[in-house]
Structure 1
């Protein structure tokens, strides 16, 4: 499993979440198996998103789509974030605890 980890520094979480929920880059159709959204406990405008994919290629293709269809369009994201989003692809190599198989 591969996880795309994305960090956002948002201006207004509610406004950002509304756009996120509209799925402008098509994560549902891109093979994302699960999506998790976290907010920093000390900074509620610091958001982390984790999207799980079966393959590294699927994660890479989705990230490219996200960059070209959302991040590179000021009219979509310009007023939502105060810094450029960050992203990296993680490969799961071990799992323990609940849900471990």
Structure 2
């Protein structure tokens, strides 16, 4: 799995999210298999987006589309502040961890 990680500041989340949603068909056509949107709990004016692709080539083509078509036009990218950072990531390890039950001290899991 290859992930295109996008990080950028925004002025207004609802405006940004509406623009993001308008490109859903473009994401599907480009081969996006899954997306996640993250926001720092201490900074509501910043978003991190993970777009998962089958190959690095698909991710790179979509990054080019974003740079030339979406981010190059204020009409296509309202609420965007500055230039986004877009990196193509390769997953080298993944696991699902067992989580502590609510109320159970973390120390019980470290023994």
TM-score normalised by length of structure 1: 0.89
RMSD of aligned alpha carbons: 1.5
* Conserved? CA contact 1:35–1:49, under 8 Å: yes
- Quickly say closer, same or farther: Cα 1:24–1:71, change in 2 above 3 A: farther
Compute the displacement of 1:80 (Å): 1.2
Distance 1:34 1:24 in 2: 11
1:87 aligns with 2:55: no
Comparing 21-30 and 79-88, the one that deviates more: 21-30
Match of 2:9 in 1: 9
Q: Secondary structure at the match of 1:74?
A: coil
Other structure's SS at 2:88 match: strand
Equivalent pairs, count: 97
TM-score by length of 2: 0.81
Return 61-70 or 79-88, whichever deviates more.
79-88
Conservation of the 8 A alpha-carbon contact between 1:25 and 1:65: no
Unaligned runs of 5+ in 2: 98-111
Unpaired segments of 5 or more residues in structure 1?
none
Match of 2:66 in 1: 66
* Rg comparison, structure with higher value: 2
Q: Could you tell me whether the CA contact under 8 Å between 1:2 and 1:54 is conserved in 2? A: yes
Runs of 4+ in 1 over 6 A off after TM superposition: none
User: How far apart are residue 24 of structure 1 and its match?
Assistant: 6.9
